[in-house]
């Protein structure tokens, strides 16, 4: 599968700022969701990335559907 960097909807992984913009919340809210276990993420050294489809599914399960 080929993706382009020009279209954010083609990306599978996102950083905290991009994810916050996607859901219309602050990066601090993303941090809170991380700490409560709502969002799955992976961290390599100091780099944190989120699997966008997995985050979408988790938020849908908790009734958060108004931003995506």
pLDDT bin (cut points 50, 70, 90) of residue 34 is very high
Does residue 1 fall inside a structural domain?
no
Does residue 66 fall inside a structural domain?
no
How high is the pLDDT of residue 6? 56
18: three-class secondary structure by DSSP: helix
pLDDT bin (cut points 50, 70, 90) of residue 64 is confident
Does residue 51 fall inside a structural domain?
yes
> Do 24 and 63 touch, CB atoms closer than 8 A?
no
Domain span at residue 29?
12-61
Q: How many domains does the chain have?
A: 1
Does residue 6 fall inside a structural domain?
no
23 pLDDT more than 80:
yes
How high is the pLDDT of residue 2? 46
Give the contacts of 50 (CB within 8 A, at least 6 positions apart).
13, 14, 15, 16, 19, 39, 40, 41
pTM for the full model?
0.77
Does residue 41 fall inside a structural domain?
yes
């Amino acid at each position: 599968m080929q993706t382009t960097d020009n279209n954010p909807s083609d990306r599978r992984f996102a950083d905290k700022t991009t994810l916050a913009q996607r859901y219309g919340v602050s990066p601090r809210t993303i941090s809170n969701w991380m700490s409560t276990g709502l969002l799955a993420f992976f961290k390599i050294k100091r780099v944190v990335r989120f699997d966008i489809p997995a985050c979408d599914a988790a938020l849908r399960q908790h009734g958060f559907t108004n931003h995506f």
